[in-house]
Amino acid sequence: MTQPIDETFVREFVEAWTRAWNANDVRQIASLCTEDIVVHDPWPPGGIIRGREEMSYYFAQLFKAFPSVQWEYLSDPFLALDAARAAGWWRMSGTMTGRLDPPGFEPTNGQIRLDGIDIWAFQDGLLSEYTVIFDMLGVGRQVGVVPEPGTFGDRMGLWMQRRKARTVRRSGAPGG
């Protein structure tokens, strides 16, 4: 069950959260979360991270891949009318100088800059549910693992998708 929150609480949380992220301090991030935190994020396989330990692993991997990563919030936080959740609009920037696991992308020295939204719910003064919304395809393009539109790699990917779709239609199997 989420706890009611107010503007002061949310502002203090955002300040501590941003400081911890910009310091790449996984322990400090984890200290702001419940032991059984649930994270909804497009990055990890399955899109859900369960528990402080698993969350810490993923964030440590992110900081290894992007040691220069920095967050800034682009507006004041938003507080839900029922005071059960809050949200923040952010910008992240950095350079991919380390390996990103999962999925195992090698460093590209690619610069990233992306905007996203965090949605937070709290229990006993700690973050208990964390939803992250951002353009994962855009990140892939920025670090060089997804081809830019109109390039040879893009056309090759489209050709492969069309071949697979044709095969799936012929076999009658749903989705392949």
pLDDT tens digits, 57-69:
999 999 999 999 9
Rounded mean pLDDT of 71-79? Answer: 95
Residue ranges covered by each domain of the chain? 7-143, 146-176
User: What rounded mean pLDDT belongs to the chain?
Assistant: 92
Give the global pTM.
0.83
- The pLDDT of residue 122 is above 60: yes
Q: Which of 87-91, 139-143, 147-151, 160-164 has the highest mean pLDDT?
A: 87-91
Q: What angle do CA 142, 53, 55 make, to 5 degrees?
A: 25
How does pLDDT run across 14-66, given as a tens digit for each residue?
Answer: 999 999 999 999 999 999 999 999 999 988 888 999 999 999 999 999 999 99
Contacts of 81 (CB under 8 A, 6+ apart): none
Rounded mean pLDDT of 101-112? Answer: 88
7-143 folds as Nuclear Transport Factor 2; Chain: A, (3.10.450)
Cβ–Cβ contacts within 10 Å for residue 166, how many? 10
Instruction: State both tokens at 77.
Output: 């936080």
Instruction: State both tokens at 107.
Output: 């460093």
